Amino acid sequence: MIKMERHSTPEDVLSLKNTRIFIAGDIILDTYIEGKVSRISPEAPVPVVLETHRKAVPGGAGNVAANVASMGGAAFLCGRVGNDSEANVLKGILEDFGIDIHSLIISKEIPTTTKMRIVSGNMLTSGAQQIVRVDKEKNEQISQEEENRVLDLYENFLKFGGNRCLIISDYGKGFLTKTLIRSLIKLSKQYHIPVVTDPKSEDVFRYAGSTVIKPNLNEGRSVLKVIKPGSLFTNFDEEINTIADCYLETSGSENLVMSLSEHGVMCKGKNIDGTLKINTHALQVSDVSGAGDTLISFLAMSLAAGLSIERATELGNIAAGIACGKAGTATISLSEFLEALKMRNEAIHPEKLMSLDSLTQISQDLKIQNKRSVFTNGCFDILHAGHVDYLQKARSRGDLLIVGLNSDSSVSKLKGPSRPVQTSSDRAAILASLACVDYIVIFEEDTPIELIKALKPNILVKGADYTIENTIGAKEVLSWGGSVELISLLPGRSTTSIIQKAQIGG
């Protein structure tokens, strides 16, 4: 069993934004009623819930599409909803996510599948207890006419270019018939489009030809019991390897990615060298519902972006870990994902060093989340206590700190031909080791004005030896409602003085 941890670069993550994903599957409206319980009903021995909050979110294939859209990918959702009020609610939510809903199949006979959960307590805090779940659904198969309509919609999607992938999100609600699944996969093969499948049926051969099939451990065990009843194992690795081999052979899929609950995730198959197992990256577990939707959405976006299955599995595993830390079905934003990368226990943080284009995209996402970004710049040639104190103070002014780092040629122009002492890559690596630094971008120009204009930070920070009048970018930051702050410096600390002491000592 190969256990491998790869560093996920920002470029990999940002490439997910440039993908077009067609999601075919069972759509569910998940509703939550939160309330307080303080007494038992006099009518029956049941708790009385005093409602305090109500919310609705897309579930099933809808949650998969929401995960794609939240990362900036283009999500095209195809599934069945009813001609009812629940469908209207669902369509409004999907549109708010920016999901294309023109491929929805509206049924006059079948209601929108709905799951209503009544919860005692607040789902955003610990201790919330689900009291009851009320489902409304009719799991009848779609008609031949509806199948043909789905295939027409998918063919229309395929006519347009881009980095594309098909997700088959099967929740067993009747939308994905065996013939529809096989027709969708056949079309995908014709256009050389990868297919990522989340299976529900134990008749796994209906998914034959999938590029990646993604069962969870319990689903894998269920299929193994049917195919090889009475199988015994000496250890967990032997069990999951047997399940993977059995599932691949039985399903006719090219590759398998199997979520292993608290044990992480594994992948195996035609396009993978050996067996890859990656440990879980859940920072805390609040709710595992929807984690599978998050995993499959990241697998699909990664394959559409041209990443390997191993890298797709790593990204999906990290994303699923973030989803587990949220209550109910949840989505992940670009900046949340990159923040999770930085929180991992790694000695090196390559994900902090960004190109300007990449950091501009992240800055836009941060503004949507109303996070206040702080920008400062400098050479940081020999990092000393004065630098660290200054950067910590700068970070405390907002929600994250972006450092503009002068390139080697830029430092030489400012400080003379003997500088810098360290290369820009070394200086960036040292800065990245500081917890107070969130992102670093290297610039070649004499001043960071172009960075500031592109990133539009909320707060611009410089040392107290500057004034607002001679601070580069101050006028621009103030023009869009930002602020400029001048921070006091520790006396007697400078790179120049360190170099002079070293020369004297030499």
Q: Which residues fall in the annotated binding site for ATP?
A: 216-219
Strands 27-40 vs 47-60: parallel, antiparallel or unpaired:
antiparallel
The CA dihedral of 81, 86, 89, 95, to the nearest 10 degrees, is -10
Measuring CA to CA, how many Å separate 201 from each of 18, 24, 99, 196, 244?
32, 15, 27, 15, 16
SS3 97: helix
Q: In this structure, what are the phi and psi dihedrals at residue 373, rounded to the nearest 5 degrees?
A: -95, 140
Which residues are CB-contacts of 74 (< 8 A; sequence separation ≥ 6)? 19, 20, 21, 68, 100, 162
Which residues are CB-contacts of 17 (< 8 A; sequence separation ≥ 6)? 71, 72, 73, 334, 361
**Nearest one of 74, 116, 80, 78 to 97, comparing CA atoms:** 74
H helix runs in 159-252, sequence order: 178-190, 217-227, 236-251
Spatial distance between the Cα atoms of 329 and 370, rounded to a whole number of angstroms: 22
Among 198, 293, 381, 438, the active-site one is 293
Spatial distance between the Cα atoms of 302 and 296, rounded to a whole number of angstroms: 10
Q: What is the 3-state secondary structure (H, E, C) of 113-174?
A: CEEEEEEECCCCCCCCEEEEEEEECCCCCCCHHHHHHHHHHHHHHHCCCCEEEEEEECCCCC
Q: Are 104 and 78 in contact (CB under 8 A)?
A: yes
**Annotation says 293 is catalytic:** yes
- The DSSP output letter for 398 is S
Binding residues: 216-219
Active site residues: 293
